[in-house]
Amino acid sequence: MGVLAGKVAVVTGASRGIGAAIATLFAAEGARVVAAARTLEPGQSRLEGTLADTVAKIEADGGTAFAQPADLSRPADRQALIEAAESRYGPVDVLVNNAAVTYFTPVTDFTDRRYELMFEVQVKAPFHLSRLVAPGMRERGRGWILNISSIAARHPDFPPGPYAALGGTVYGMCKAALERFTTGLAAELYADGVAVNALSPNGIVPTPGTLFHHLTSVDAPDNEPPSVMADAALALCHRPATELTGRIAYSQDLLAELADRH
């Protein structure tokens, strides 16, 4: 019996990278996983990885999951995702907000359409999905909401480093907003036993997205494997809120901290 046995977990952005790793590990730990993303089948994205791949791996390993295609920039798709999860498996115990649409463009060149799309997927979607699942979690006296963030939420150093030229300001704005939402919601739901946390990798995870944006390479020595983020996500999604909530956590730091406790 895994630590998530009997739990229902919704993981967005589960077609590839960090989201796929989290969905796979959560299923291995006993959760019934609802994997959500835009890419259901091959050919629907220029990036590798599909929901079909993620669900096939989970089922091959003996886990339980189903794919729910969703464009999280659309409120109707967000509503349909939670309704599908509850209809198929029951109330949602764990929500992982991982989906992202990202453009690296300097502020002076950013278009309104791309700006609005990034905030819709990375800020408004986690807000909306959390509002949909939080009442049930509060009623049951338990639940876990995890928002996947990034070191980009931190303010830049001055003089700025080489990544400043990549145009990550809007991405950093989204993640900073997500982290403030995390701590605020954690405070609101603390008395109800619902844990809300944010998690970032310490290093760059070589996912199809980060490779596409040339943020890292497959053989970069300081890469962080997706499995590290999955392990840290699991740590934040089964412990009681009295133990771990309201954290802006970094994967390797969190795992080292928890290891030191034992």
Q: Which residues are catalytic?
A: 163
Q: How far apart are CA 50 and CA 73, in angstroms?
A: 18
Tokens of 72: 């999280």
Q: Are the CB atoms for 173 and 225 separated by under 8 Å?
A: no
- List the Cα angle 201/254/207 in 5-degree steps: 20
Tokens of 180: 């403030």
Residue 127's CB: how many other CB atoms inside 10 A?
16
Residue 79's CB: how many other CB atoms inside 10 A?
14
Place of tokens 């309201």: 246
Q: How far apart are CA 127 and CA 231, in angstroms?
A: 24
